[in-house]
Structure 1
Amino acid sequence: MERNVVIRITIISFVVGFMIAVQYNTVKKPESRDTRDIWEIRHELAEEKRLHSELLNEIASLKKIKAEYEDEDSEEQGKALQSTVDDLRKRAGLTKVTGPGVHLNIQPAEELILSGYKVEPIPPDLLIRLVNEIYRYNGLYIEIDGQRVVHTTAIRDINGRTTVNSVPISNSNVDILIITESFEQAEKLYSYLYASTFRDDFYIDNLKLTIYPAREDITIGAYDGEFTNMYLQKGEGD
């Protein structure tokens, strides 16, 4: 009987001690604080608001399409459906596009080459970061050295050559064409890229990045590859 009492007291003492230790550790080591400054938080908030705005615009567009299908007769529904298909082909990169945008050019830095520096391929990781920033600042369509950038595009190193869509790009003269929603957006993109560190980043790799002012008439070609579907399959009757 006394042994059971001792065991119970021991267990209770252990539990109480454990709870005290946990409480002390919580007070002693509070959760790590958010150390970001106000500008970093504002930047992330602005990015979230931009994404939210894009989603709202997309929802409004889909609602408009749905209303058109419901209100029109069969002939008009066919036209609305064709318009939707054309818009989706445009978004996917399957058609040539002309609109306001920005033109970039990448060449070896002449003064460095004359000093004996070797011409190296454009680093894929730097090119990927540039593309991501372009999309982040409202770039809609991008073409790199004649290759249309689509959702399946891979930018990588293959056998020492930088490739876009598995096609090697030039080491000495690469044009990057960007189309935006409006000329105002093109000017904003130009201002951002011009004020960014990208020119210095490319110069470190002996490359000169030239950023030309926004234009009204940038033309980008259609993607000439094939899209592959991993999940969609034709039915037996198709």
Structure 2
Amino acid sequence: MYNPVKWKFSIVLLIIGLMLAIQYNTVKNPEERDTRDIWAIRQELTMEKQLNSELLSEIRELDKTIHTYDSLEDGNTEKALTETVDKLYKQAGMTDLKGTGFVMEVRPSEESIALGIPISGITPDLLNKFVNDLNRFKGISLEIDGKRFTTLSSIRDINGITTVNGLNVSTPPFKMKVITQSLEDGEKLYNYLLASPIHDDFYLENFNLDIHKPNSTMEIRGWGDKFENRYLKELPKGE
């Protein structure tokens, strides 16, 4: 016999059961959360603050350049433009540099040589990680295996070979050179690299990273390629 009370009761129980199943599934499979510890988050925050500081410094420098142009007389404009071009060439790594710095050498580890492990080239991931470690310090200039590394440079894998600016990086041993803004900065970077865990990353790939002591006579070469001007043309005087 049809009993509406039982049907209503059954429907209520069905709804309750459905709600409990949904709640259980939500607890069982929570949304993905950020599981990094507080130190990893602080490190990322520090890097973001450093990037923000560098961008603000660049903006201030550009504002300073604009103000210089606005305050110049016509006779000094050419000189100011020449100085700006020279500065940009230095920032782009087009010129040779001399200053305080030190040499770093990547070579096969003694264990890999003793065990007869084939020597392979350094991977782009390891080289990129090393460069990022160096970039914690501002105002450095870097040369990797005779190739100038700047903000315009790239580290890539081309046909299984690690390249810098499209040029092959030698199979270790090879040298890297870094120039800092001062002897004090060179000492700080030198001590930082001596204690850096980056050595473990090199060792895991059967390499040793040797850091030589800073000296004041370091020299690195400029970027070999030159910028080609295809569109800008100089106007005749008076126009």
Tell me if structure 2 keeps the 8 A contact 1:202–1:208: yes
Q: Does 1:165 align with 2:162?
A: no
User: What is the distance in 1 between the residues matched to 2:108 and 2:36?
Assistant: 38
Q: Which of 230, 234, 238 is the equivalent residue of 2:231?
A: 234
In the TM superposition, what whole-angstrom CA distance separates every residue of 1:129-159 from its partner, at most 9, and x where no partner exists? 2122222333632111111123443333444
User: Aligned residue for 1:38?
Assistant: 38
Report the CA distance shift for 1:108/1:154 in structure 2 as closer, same or farther (over 3 A).
same
Query: Partner letter of residue 199 of structure 1?
Result: H
Gaps of 5+ in 1: 1-16
Report the CA distance shift for 1:40/1:111 in structure 2 as closer, same or farther (over 3 A).
closer
The alpha-carbon deviation at position 181 of structure 1 amounts to 3.2
Tell me if structure 1 keeps the 8 A contact 2:122–2:172: no
The alpha-carbon deviation at position 46 of structure 1 amounts to 2.2
In the TM superposition, what whole-angstrom CA distance separates every residue of 1:96-135 from its partner, at most 9, and x where no partner exists? 1223333210112234313322222222221122122222
User: Aligned residue for 1:52?
Assistant: 52
What TM-score do you get using the length of structure 1 for normalisation?
0.74
User: Aligned residue for 2:12?
Assistant: none
User: What is the distance in 2 between the residues matched to 1:84 and 1:105?
Assistant: 35
Gaps of 5+ in 2: 1-14
Tell me if structure 2 keeps the 8 A contact 1:145–1:169: yes
User: What is the distance in 2 between the residues matched to 1:226 and 1:235?
Assistant: 16
Q: How does 1:19-168 map to 2 (within 5 A)?
A: 34-138=34-138, 140-168=140-168
Q: How many percent identity over aligned positions? A: 42
The alpha-carbon deviation at position 34 of structure 1 amounts to 4.7
SS at 2:172 equivalent: coil
SS at 1:77 equivalent: helix
Tell me if structure 2 keeps the 8 A contact 1:138–1:189: no
Tell me if structure 2 keeps the 8 A contact 1:193–1:211: yes
In the TM superposition, what whole-angstrom CA distance separates every residue of 1:72-108 from its partner, at most 9, and x where no partner exists? 2122222222111111111111111223333210112
